[in-house]
Amino acid sequence: MQSSNPVLNRSSAFAPGHGQAYPGAAPYGQQSPQGYGGSGMPPQQQYPGAPASSRPMTLDDVIVKTAITLGVVVAAAAVAWWTVPTTLVTPAFLAGALVGFALAMVLSFSRKVNPVLLMLYAVAEGVFLGIGSKFIAGWVGDSAIIVQAVLATMVTAGLTLATYKYFAIKVTPKFTKMVIIGTAGFAGVLLINLVLSLVGINTGISGMGPMGLLFAALGAGLAVFNLILDFDMIEQGVRQGAPQNEAWRAAFGLTVTLVWLYWNILRILAILRGGD
C-alpha cells in the first residue's frame, strides 16, 4: 500500500514490508513491547553517538518539523501580502507558483529531503499563497475571510486526524487506489484547464463561479482523503523505525496537503460570500 502523496512514496520507510530498519524494531502491524528498538529507552539512549539520521523517527519529530515548515510558509505569505507592490503582484504570484512547483518536484523525487530546499519551497509557496489570499480578500472585500479559512483548515485537519485515530479508520488498498485515481484525475483536469486558459478558453474551473465552487469542493474533499493516507503512512514510518531525517519528508508531505486544503477552503468561502 502506498500513499497518494508522492513525497512519502520516495522512501520505503513509509511502506509496509519495509522490514526492520533497526535491531529490535517491531515489524509493521506489531508493537514493540518496549518502544523503539525494544529497549524501553529513548532513541538518543538506544543509539548513543549515532548521527541524527540513524535514529528512529517519532511523531514529535514530524510535528516539530511540520510546524517549522508551515511557519515559514505563513511568514513568507505575510511578507508577500504587505511588501509586494501592486505592479509586481502578477509576476510575483506566477513566480511563487512556478518556483514552488519546481522545488516540489525536486523534493518529491529526491531520495533524501534537503531541509534547505524544503525551506525555499515553503518561501515560494508562501509568496504564492500570500498574494493569492490578498487577491481573494480584495475580491470579497473583507480580509477576515483569510482568518476564517485558516481556522477552517485547522479544524478540518484536526477532525480528520481525530476521525482517523478514534474511529480506527482502516486504510485499505481499495481506498488508497480510489484516492490515488481521484487525485490524479483532478490534477489532470487542472492541467488541461491551464493549457486551455493559455489559448483563451475559460472553463470556469479556476474561476469564482459555480464551476469553480464545484472543483474547489472536490479539491478540498480529495485533500482530506490524502490527509488520511498521509497520517497512515506516517504512523507506519514511526512504527517501523524510519530514520529521523525522514521526518522532513513527512513534514513536506503534510505541508503540500494542508496548503492544498487551505487554498480550496479559501476559494469555497469566497465564492459562497460573493464579490464585493
pLDDT digits (tens, 9 = 90+) for 80-125: 999 999 889 988 988 898 898 889 889 988 888 899 999 999 999 9
* 3 state DSSP class of 243: strand
From start to end of the chain, where are the E strands? none
Amino acid 11: pLDDT: 57
Which of residues 7 and 196 earns the better pLDDT score?
196
For the chain, domain boundaries = 6-11+55-273
* 3 state DSSP class of 250: helix
**Cβ partners under 8 Å of residue 42, min gap 6:** 36
Question: Does position 30 have pLDDT exceeding 70, yes or no?
Answer: no
Q: What is the pLDDT of residues 183-219, one digit of tens each?
A: 888 888 887 887 787 788 888 888 888 899 999 999 9
Amino acid 276: pLDDT: 58
* 3 state DSSP class of 94: helix
Comparing CA positions, the residue from 239, 175, 227, 269 lying closest to residue 66 is 227
Residue 141 DSSP symbol = T
Amino acid 199: pLDDT: 81
**Bridge partners, residue 243, by sequence:** 56
Amino acid 83: pLDDT: 94
d(CA 102, CA 229): 24
